[in-house]
Amino acid sequence: MEIKVIEAPPDKRKVKPADESKLGFGKIFSDHFFTMPYHTGRGWHDPLIEPYRSLQLDPTAMCLHYAQEIFEGMKAYRGQGGALFLFRPMENIRRMNVSAERLCMPRVDEELFFEALKRLIIIEKEWIPHGSGTSLYIRPTMIATEAALGVHPSNEYLFFIIMGPVGAYYPEGFGPTKIFVTEEYCRAVPGGTGNCKAGGNYAASLFAGEIAKGIGYTQVLWLDAVERKYVEEVGTSNMFFVIGEELITAPLTGTILPGVTRDSVIQLAKSWGVRVAERRLSMDEVMAAIADGTLREAFASGTAAIVSPVGQIRYREKEYVIADGKTGNLTERLYNEILQIQYGQKEDPFGWRIKIAD
């Protein structure tokens, strides 16, 4: 399918932010977006890059009622000399299709998805900020658009990709976060949609997140829904602990999101000779490791921050300090390595970096 392009007229283009230190996250979007509708019997059709606009939906559009909505989150990076890079984009594309299948939504052809992504980024390249650690955040999204209130998989969808500049996550260096372990609420159940990037998962997570914020914590640490015993994820990131000589993260059993950063951390750490275990880790084991001094590092991983050190953890009314509240060596090494690969500052032995323009 040929992607058609309608360019925004020069006088309708937005003013690009002048101060890159004030970009923040998810507030500014570029001049164009990609859209492609789907109808049962016809499939995906009319892929289009067009001027950014509001969407028009019937009030009964099914995404508004039954949450048939999925999305992805990825970034484009500007390297030295103006080269533009993506980091493992096919992983996000494949994960979006896993989410689509689970929510009875149509898959998008991987090559067409990638082509749309590349073309849109190249059209919007002036929107990619220059500052260290800044990037262009990309949000591919799929919504059910059929106007109908009966509960069934929609017969109509819209796939779209929007993008916008985002600031450096750590403009002033690492800031270890404080996390709150909830035993009362859970994010995902076995057999549910925890391994999908479905909007409904995030809606369900807000309540516990607000409780945590209300008492001064940055994120919620989610435990397994059945026994409320084993570590799963933290906020919207995967969770890692270094206990003794082992780097431990939860296994991919369907209740956590298979993070692209999680996989990159695992592969890098293994390549450095670190012992990595994808296994269940109970809060009892975490508490015992804090008590005997073997819990050396804790960090969250995700596209937004790469890795985010955890300095304090609250569990059953008590607060514990991890590694004196400082960033661990492995955490810092992983951050630097992934960042430098993403920005083209370092060799990429894994072939993760995809150059899309010189």
Stretch that binds ligand PLP, among 78-86, 212-220, 300-308, 310-318 (CB under 6 A): 300-308
Distance CA 25, CA 14 (A): 17
Q: Is 308 in the site for ligand PLP (CB under 6 A)?
A: no
CB atoms within 10 A of CB 247: 23
Distance CA 285, CA 241 (A): 11
Stretch that binds ligand PLP, among 44-52, 79-87, 255-263, 309-317 (CB under 6 A): 255-263
Tell me the residue number closest to ligand PLP, measured at CB: 259
320-341 core/surface letters (b: 16 or more CB in 10 A; e: else)? eebbeeebbebbbebbebbbeb
CB atoms within 10 A of CB 111: 11
Identity of the residue, 91 or 146, whose beta carbon is nearer to ligand PLP in the bound complex: 91
Q: Is 303 in the site for ligand PLP (CB under 6 A)?
A: yes
One residue of 302, 311, 328, 344 binding ligand PLP per CB under 6 A: 302
Q: Could you identify the residue written with the tokens 């950014």?
A: 52
Distance CA 70, CA 216 (A): 30
Identity of the residue, 47 or 167, whose beta carbon is nearer to ligand PLP in the bound complex: 167
Q: Is 259 in the site for ligand PLP (CB under 6 A)?
A: yes
Identity of the residue, 209 or 344, whose beta carbon is nearer to ligand PLP in the bound complex: 209
Q: State in angstroms the smallest separation of the CB of 43 from ligand PLP.
A: 28
How many residues make contact with ligand PLP (CB under 6 A)?
A: 13
244 contacts 253 by C-beta, under 8 angstroms: no
Letters for 72-101 (x = contact with ligand PLP by CB under 6 A, - = none) are -x----------------------------
Angle of CA points 135, 200, 226, to nearest 5° = 110
Take residue 285 and report the two structure tokens written for it.
């084991």
Binding site for ligand PLP (CB under 6 A): 73, 233, 236-238, 257, 259-262, 301-303
